[in-house]
Chains A and B, each alone.
Chain A
Amino acid sequence: MKKLLAILLSVVMVLSLAACGSKTPDPAPDPAPGNTDTETKTVKVGLICIGDENDQGYTYNFIRGKEAATEQLAAKGINVDWVVKYNIGENSTCEDANLELAEEGCELIINNSFGFEEYMLKVAPDYPEIQFVGCTNQNSWNDGLENTHNAFANIYEGRYLAGVAAGMKLQQLIDEGTIKAEEAVIGYVGAFSFAEVVSGMTAYFLGARSVCPSATMKVQFVGSWSDATEESNAASDLCDRGCKLISQHSDNTTPATMAQSKGAFHTGYNNDMTGVAPDSSIIGCRIDWAPYFVYAIESVANGQAFDQDFCKGYADGSVVLTNLNEKIAAPGTAEKLAEVEAGLKDGSVQVFDTSTFTVNNEPLTQAFALDTDGDFAPDSEEAVFDGAFHESYFQSAPYFTIQIDGIEWLNSAF
């Protein structure tokens, strides 16, 4: 009995000590936004991420954009108070995260993954004064809300350029007699047979074939956006099927390392992969989110409305190439890239030029861009005109889902 009382008393004492102890460091002032400069505006921005920067790919690319944007905005006298939520799932936890950030007083909330939009749209109507952004998504043009936005970039332009660098390499191998012309096979590790992937890989292939006319491509879908082992297995399988060069639309660097160990070349996505595969990875392309972040945040800071369906491309700095690996790239690659870049900028090069590809041996004459009745089959807005398929023209998210000749789908289960 006494023992018990003694224990209780000691617990009370420890607690009171803890309470006292906690009081002392309190006077330390909050890290208040101490800048009293009247010109400086502070915007509280929420960012909801599907992963964290350790993925060295998709989310890392957003964080990089966030940091660059913060710097550029600071130069314009706008302070950004970021609240970042990592590792949020594409389910009701995303709804909770949006609510949480809205309640914390964020003026702009950015969702970084495709599957987030449905949950963002459950929260957005209740907070009309807060701007919501669904990156890589597609509902803003017809969801009837004023405060929702979509953003993407014409990443297919970057893919096309990376494809040119890859094609140059293959053509070099052919010219040097290392491989025969019909052996110029590209292996592509794709996540899913999703419009974003199909659009990107087709652009890549067309880029490669523009400089290496005998090139063909095999695509292996892995059924996950991020599965290091499966991506590696797919790259290995593609190399065994005779692919001389690997590219990827998936989050990890394992296709690069596998290509290097199999003696194949590689081009990357989201991040510079020449560090992990210096003897194999030629170049990569990525979306630079900074221009969009700067644009959106600046608009919010100034109380201006901003584009509900944003999509900019290579010419505007939203799509960038990573450093060219001069050590292994074919001679003249940099010059050729500069030439194509100029063509993309002035519009003389169209990525999906219908004269450069066929579908079932017929030229493409008709394809719809948008789905208006909700059955996920495009039924509106003719995308083929002026001799090209116009990608990301009617909405920011890609809608090119056509299987063209020259690309072999090894599995379409995903």
Chain B
Amino acid sequence: MHNENKVPLIRLAKRDLMEPWKVWCIRLASIVLALILGGLVMMIALPDGATPIDGYSTILAGALGKKTAIRQTVKLAVPLLGCALAIAPCFKMRFWNIGAEGQITAGAIAASYFALYWVGRVPSVLLLIIMGAAGAVAGGLWALIPAFFKAKWNTNETLFTLMMNYIIIGIVRWLQGGPWEGRPGSQIIPQFDRAATLPKVLGIHCGWIIVLILVIFMHIYMNYTKHGYEIAVIGDSVNTARYAGMNVGHVMMRTMFLSGAISGLVGFVVASGANTTLYDGVAAGVGFTSITVAWLSQLNAFAMIVISMMLAIISKGAETLQTRLAVPASISDIITGILLFCMLGCEFFINYRLIFRSSKTEKEAAKE
């Protein structure tokens, strides 16, 4: 009697390692489920005569159907990928850096300073390098602040990094309306000179090359270096790391600086490549969306390429969906949300299993 009451209807249990093919089946199934659920949403939103199949094919055609479309899709994926790479080491260390948004912005501000005031003083290539370096340093320093407080006084890094975002975005607003304003009263910072704009390679600003190099760098850094090993150990157990003689605070600050620096570099790429100006929405939510990218790829640098492209395809495709079938743009957000929910949710079922209270377990419980 006593025992029976203690067995709930559903219990959770950690799974043993699953065979890889099963894992992939579950993941595939989750995507299929997401597509079906998304299809139901589309059935409501699409005009008469159009089916979810039309909807999905419009999304794909809109994102990948033409050369210009592919370019735009890649342009959307670049900051997502770069920023996911940036936060991966922090998350590996279980340091919850949700301040990438602000670190991107900090990098963009520093890069913009040189773009606006150093143009003409140095040749274009050098100027771009200075802008990139300045962006990386600014992003790194902005990230170092919460890391320092965490290392020194064990402050809550989640809140700290989040709050830092609003400060730096406020600074951009001030710059936009104040010292860097172009036409008086417009709140718009002038467009950068051509010399401060990232050149295009294959029709897309060359930020895509930068992030692909970062993918390789991050893969090596995380898997084959002493730093990467330290990060992994701290992520598993801070005490183990201490026992092994690692200076945890030091590693934290170093990792956060690196993370912020990469975000800052992304900020430079976005400001100089995509927008060619600075404005308060320069990060455009990338700092948050990339958290999803990083988790979905399980912090694997190469998987991030696939996931960020996937999100970019949905995002670009949804624009076309809106243009061609007059579907509200928010529908795409719903579909993206469903997809992410299913994909992240399935990881739960890969790691845990549900045990229902069956008659068998009841009997077993009774026996005990």
**A200 CB, nearest partner CB in chain B, Å:** 12
Tell me if B48 counts as interface (CB < 8 A to partner A): yes
For A401, the closest partner residue in chain B by CB is B184
In the bound complex, what is the Cα–Cα distance between A7 and B22 (angstroms)? 12
**B108 CB, nearest partner CB in chain A, Å:** 12
Contacts of B319 on A, CB cut-off 8 Å?
A: 85, 96-97, 100
Q: Select the stretch in A67-75, A191-199, A206-214, A345-353 that faces chain B.
A: A191-199
For B330, the closest partner residue in chain A by CB is A87
Q: Are A8 and B25 in contact (CB under 8 A)?
A: yes
Residue in A18, A100, A122 with the greatest tally of chain B CB atoms within 10 Å? A100
In the bound complex, what is the Cα–Cα distance between A197 and B183 (angstroms)? 13
Q: Contacting B32 at CB < 8 Å: which of A15, A25, A91?
A: A15
Tell me if A6 counts as interface (CB < 8 A to partner B): no
Q: Contacting B185 at CB < 8 Å: which of A4, A15, A192?
A: A192
Among B284-331, those with CB < 8 Å from A are 284, 316, 319-320, 322-324, 329
In the bound complex, what is the Cα–Cα distance between A195 and B185 (angstroms)? 7
Contacts of A28 on B, CB cut-off 8 Å?
A: 48-49
Q: How would residues 96 to 123 of chain A score, 1 for a CB under 8 Å from any chain B CB and 0 otherwise? A: 1101110110000000001100100010
For A97, the closest partner residue in chain B by CB is B319
Q: How would residues 1 to 42 of chain A score, 1 for a CB under 8 Å from any chain B CB and 0 otherwise? A: 000100110010011001101100110111100000000000
For B173, the closest partner residue in chain A by CB is A223
Q: Select the stretch in B6-14, B64-72, B337-345 that faces chain A.
A: B64-72
Known: A91-B284, A92-B274. Is A85-B322 also a contact (CB below 8 A)?
yes
Known: A85-B323, A100-B323, A103-B68. Is A18-B39 also a contact (CB below 8 A)?
yes
Tell me if B366 counts as interface (CB < 8 A to partner A): no
Among A214-249, those with CB < 8 Å from B are 223
Known: A11-B32, A99-B68, A118-B277. Is A86-B329 also a contact (CB below 8 A)?
yes
Known: A18-B39, A194-B184. Is A96-B72 also a contact (CB below 8 A)?
yes
Tell me if B129 counts as interface (CB < 8 A to partner A): no
Q: Are A14 and B185 in contact (CB under 8 A)?
A: no
Q: Are B25 and A414 in contact (CB under 8 A)?
A: no
Q: How many residues of B contact A (CB 8 A)?
A: 42
Q: Contacting B186 at CB < 8 Å: which of A11, A96, A114?
A: A114
Contacts of A192 on B, CB cut-off 8 Å?
A: 177, 185-187
Contacts of B183 on A, CB cut-off 8 Å?
A: 194-195, 376
In the bound complex, what is the Cα–Cα distance between A4 and B23 (angstroms)? 12
Known: A11-B32, A100-B320. Is A91-B184 also a contact (CB below 8 A)?
no
Q: How many residues of A contact B (CB 8 A)?
A: 47
Q: Contacting B329 at CB < 8 Å: which of A18, A22, A87, A92?
A: A87
Q: Are A118 and B22 in contact (CB under 8 A)?
A: no
Tell me if A410 counts as interface (CB < 8 A to partner B): no
For B54, the closest partner residue in chain A by CB is A22
Q: Contacting A115 at CB < 8 Å: which of B39, B52, B188, B322?
A: B188
**A117 CB, nearest partner CB in chain B, Å:** 10
Tell me if B170 counts as interface (CB < 8 A to partner A): no
Contacts of B68 on A, CB cut-off 8 Å?
A: 99, 103
Tell me if A51 counts as interface (CB < 8 A to partner B): no
Q: Are B177 and A223 in contact (CB under 8 A)?
A: yes
Tell me if A83 counts as interface (CB < 8 A to partner B): yes
In the bound complex, what is the Cα–Cα distance between A14 and B320 (angstroms)? 27
In the bound complex, what is the Cα–Cα distance between A376 and B186 (angstroms)? 11
Q: Are B53 and A376 in contact (CB under 8 A)?
A: no
Q: Are B323 and A25 in contact (CB under 8 A)?
A: no
In the bound complex, what is the Cα–Cα distance between A192 and B68 (angstroms)? 37
Tell me if A183 counts as interface (CB < 8 A to partner B): no
Tell me if A291 counts as interface (CB < 8 A to partner B): no
Contacts of A115 on B, CB cut-off 8 Å?
A: 186, 188
Known: A99-B72, A103-B68. Is A7-B186 also a contact (CB below 8 A)?
no
Q: Are A118 and B191 in contact (CB under 8 A)?
A: yes
Q: How would residues 27 to 67 of chain B score, 1 for a CB under 8 Å from any chain A CB and 0 otherwise? A: 00100100010010000000011011110000000000010
Contacts of A86 on B, CB cut-off 8 Å?
A: 329
Q: Contacting B275 at CB < 8 Å: which of A14, A19, A92?
A: A92
Q: Could you show 11 A-B contacts with beta carbons less than 8 Å apart?
A: A18-B52, A22-B51, A89-B281, A96-B75, A100-B320, A104-B324, A194-B185, A376-B184, A413-B177, A414-B177, A414-B185
B residues with CB within 8 A of A: 22, 25, 29, 32, 36, 39, 48-49, 51-54, 66, 68-69, 72, 75, 177, 182-188, 190-191, 274-277, 279, 281-282, 284, 316, 319-320, 322-324, 329
Closest 10 CB pairs of A and B: A194-B185, A22-B51, A28-B49, A192-B185, A92-B274, A22-B53, A193-B185, A376-B183, A92-B275, A118-B191
A residues with CB within 8 A of B: 4, 7-8, 11, 14-15, 18-19, 21-22, 25-26, 28-31, 83, 85-87, 89-92, 96-97, 99-101, 103-104, 114-115, 118, 122, 192-195, 197-198, 223, 374, 376, 401, 413-414
Given A26-B51, A91-B284, A100-B319, 10 other A-B residues pairs in contact with their CB atoms under 8 A: A4-B25, A30-B49, A83-B323, A85-B329, A100-B72, A101-B323, A114-B188, A118-B277, A195-B184, A414-B187
